[in-house]
């Protein structure tokens, strides 16, 4: 299979090698689509020739080397991929406070060694006291920032319950062993990278604004700024992890930790109660399993919109010769943009928590329905997003993040995306508990027609209701070929998650890239509204940009980067290729 990728490797190295002096492209809108990731403004436009990591016995690809190490430690002890995923999750809560979490939620796609697929929804829920208009003033206008920052922005966390449920169903090692690496890192400290130090320094003011000037977390005792190489020790977080180690679910949703969390909410005007914590439970869902050419896609159903969107995106372009046209060529890019435009319109109309609404999943990903969505495509010009609405189905009426992938020697695979939503979530740090809370309430439709922090619109399907899960873009995915495990993929990135996963899968399947090349490859994104395509510097040739702009496409170069992929590819001989994104500190480790 390595030979299969050889010819494209030569091409991609040639393309990247020629881009030593990128031209400055004037922006058609000065505001970046999002600033989810911590970026150094002095960094040159990104491209990379980072190589994949190869191993035979197991692989963990995560946002931080210490988190990947935690997973590998568990695999070496005889644990399976699910055990390693749990250990990686808790380690991320320590070493990657930007998005790793106890106070957040997420989604897991699991494929066991015998090929059975399972999906776990541990997304946060709206508190019992939440209501549709809780972020609106008396005139019905959105109160800016209320769903993003502070105690009222948090949903009821699901991460700890999710990890307990995964281990209960599939775990091999004892629970207490899986918490050991995270506790060791919290007590002994983690050495900060330059990026992590920058993130903590940049958020100090807002941490103090939300938690008070006498902040005891993420600050140095001498008041100086964090620098690369500093040791971040988190004693309170270690104690919280010990309670979870001893009492599993009860160590977070009951007892001391629950009391600290509820006290913190009460102090800051939040509404999460002991009853909310007691009633929270993650949910095993029926996986979305569908074909793309000769490949089987196993992905997440709602309350994530990612799985439906991914299948729609892939199937809308399945009819076209993408490999022949070429990577990011004009024709390839045009049909991908037009697919994204229609899929994000459907997302806004149809998708929400299936415990509350009927989401017509099978119909939305059917070839018949997608054919109607493509009927107005015109290859000579860009479609105007104002003329695109969510599609019509008979009988229905409209109503920051981190990812890690794990594969073990037996072929068990886990793809997990988890989040606090924005960077460091709501910025609320639970006093005495040492963990950050999410700001996931912003992922609801705060008001119909008003975009969230990622510019995504929603409808009644995603309005706030007590105990409802807010809609997500997370897209953890596993790909099979000929009944065998092929890929484990996923990324953070808010509204860009779905398009980044989409492009990465196509890069391997259609453009014959290795896993690392597919991750390294420059990306673009369109989400229906705002009606523009954003792209990483050098993602397109000048000729392609000119052709697309002449067809009416607004092409807008980003200052930052798109995606933070952590993926694994399985070769025919069983070799694993770990591919972690060079755009940040992401690291794959195998053995």
- Catalytically active residues, by annotation: 401
Tell which residue, 314, 492, 301, 308, has the closest CA to residue 391. Answer: 308
Could you give phi then psi for residue 382, rounded to 5 degrees?
A: -75, 140
Tell which residue, 566, 580, 571, has the closest CA to residue 415. Answer: 566
Tell which residue, 491, 483, 348, has the closest CA to residue 415. Answer: 491
Q: Buried b / exposed e across 40-73, counting CB within 10 Å, b at 16+?
A: eeeeebbbeeeebbbbeebbbbbbbbbbbbbbbb
Quick one: 112 exposed, middle or buried, by C-beta within 10 A (0-12, 13-18, 19+)?
middle
Q: Buried b / exposed e across 304-343, counting CB within 10 Å, b at 16+?
A: bbbbbbbbbbbbbbeebebeebbbbbbbbbbbbbbbbbbb
Place of tokens 């092409």: 555
- Tokens in use for 451? 């975009």
Q: Give the chain's end-to-end CA distance (angstroms, integer).
A: 21
Tell me how far apart the alpha carbons of residues 106 and 158 are, in angstroms, rounded to a whole number.
7
Pseudo-torsion of CA 519, 522, 528, 533, nearest 10°?
170
Query: Which segments of 77-220 does DSSP mark as H helices, in order?
Result: 81-95, 159-170, 175-188, 194-202, 204-211
> Contact 36/423 with Cβ under 8 angstroms?
yes
Tell which residue, 71, 48, 51, has the closest CA to residue 61. Answer: 71
Tell which residue, 344, 307, 261, 393, has the closest CA to residue 107. Answer: 307
CB atoms under 10 Å from CB of 572, counted, come to: 12
> Contact 332/326 with Cβ under 8 angstroms?
yes
Using DSSP bridges, classify how beta strands 555-557 and 533-535 pair: parallel, antiparallel or unpaired. Answer: parallel
HSE value, Cβ hemisphere, 13 Å, CA-based, for 580: 23
Which strands make up the sheet holding 484-489, listed edge to edge?
53-55, 576-580, 566-570, 484-489, 477-481, 295-299, 288-292
- Tokens in use for 367? 């070839």
SS3 (DSSP) at 491: coil
DSSP 478: E
């Amino acid at each position: 299979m390595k030979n299969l990728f050889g010819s494209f490797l030569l091409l991609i190295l040639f393309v990247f090698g020629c881009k030593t002096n990128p031209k400055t492209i004037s922006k058609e809108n000065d505001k970046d689509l999002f600033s989810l990731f911590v970026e150094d403004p002095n960094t040159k436009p990104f491209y990379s020739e980072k190589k994949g990591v190869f191993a035979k016995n197991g692989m963990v690809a995560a946002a931080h080397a210490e988190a990947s190490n935690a997973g590998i430690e568990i695999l070496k002890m005889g644990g399976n991929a699910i055990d390693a995923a749990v250990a990686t999750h808790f380690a991320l809560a320590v070493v990657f406070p930007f998005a790793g979490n106890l106070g957040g939620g997420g989604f897991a796609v699991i494929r066991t060694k015998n090929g059975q697929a399972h999906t776990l929804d541990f997304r946060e829920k709206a508190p019992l006291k939440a209501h549709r208009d809780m972020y609106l003033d008396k005139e019905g206008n959105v109160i800016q920032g209320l769903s993003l920052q502070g105690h009222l922005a948090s949903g009821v966390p699901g991460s700890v319950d999710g990890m307990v449920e995964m281990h209960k169903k599939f775990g091999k090692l004892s629970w207490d062993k899986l918490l050991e690496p995270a506790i060791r890192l919290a007590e002994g400290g983690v050495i900060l990278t330059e990026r992590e130090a920058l993130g903590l320094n940049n958020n100090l003011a807002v941490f103090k604004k939300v938690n008070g000037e006498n902040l005891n977390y993420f600050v140095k005792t001498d008041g100086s700024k964090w620098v690369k190489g500093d040791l971040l020790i988190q004693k309170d977080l270690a104690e919280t992890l010990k309670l979870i180690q001893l009492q599993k679910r009860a160590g977070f949703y009951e007892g001391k930790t629950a009391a600290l969390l509820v006290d913190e909410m009460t102090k800051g005007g939040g509404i999460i109660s002991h009853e909310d914590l007691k009633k929270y439970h993650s949910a095993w869902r029926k996986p979305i399993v569908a074909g793309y050419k000769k490949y089987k896609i196993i992905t997440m159903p709602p309350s994530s919109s990612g799985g439906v969107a991914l299948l729609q995106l892939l199937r809308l372009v399945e009819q076209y010769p993408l490999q022949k046209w070429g990577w990011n060529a004009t024709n390839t890019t045009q049909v991908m943009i037009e697919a994204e435009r229609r899929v994000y319109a459907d997302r806004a109309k149809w998708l929400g928590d299936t415990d509350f609404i009927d989401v017509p999943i099978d119909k939305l990903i059917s070839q018949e329905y997608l054919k109607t969505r493509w009927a107005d495509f015109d290859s000579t010009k860009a479609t105007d997003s104002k003329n695109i609405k969510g599609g019509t189905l008979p009988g229905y009426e409209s109503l920051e993040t981190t990812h890690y992938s794990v594969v073990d020697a037996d072929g068990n695979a886990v793809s997990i995306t988890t989040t606090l939503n924005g960077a460091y979530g709501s910025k609320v740090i639970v006093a005495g508990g040492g963990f950050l809370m999410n700001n996931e309430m912003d992922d609801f439709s705060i008001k119909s027609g008003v975009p969230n922090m990622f510019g995504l619109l929603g409808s009644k399907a995603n309005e706030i209701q007590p105990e409802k899960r807010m809609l997500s873009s997370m897209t953890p995915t596993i790909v099979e070929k000929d009944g065998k495990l092929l890929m484990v993929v996923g990324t953070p990135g808010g509204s860009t998650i779905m398009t980044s996963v989409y492009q990465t899968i196509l890069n391997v399947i259609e453009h014959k890239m290795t896993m690392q090349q597919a991750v390294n490859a420059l990306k673009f994104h369109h989400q229906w509204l705002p009606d523009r395509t954003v792209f990483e510097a050098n993602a397109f040739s000048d000729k392609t940009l000119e052709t697309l702009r002449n067809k009416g496409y607004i092409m807008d170069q980003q200052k930052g980067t798109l995606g933070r992929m952590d993926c694994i590819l399985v070769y025919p001989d069983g070799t694993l290729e770990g591919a972690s994104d060079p755009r940040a500190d992401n690291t794959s480790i195998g053995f």
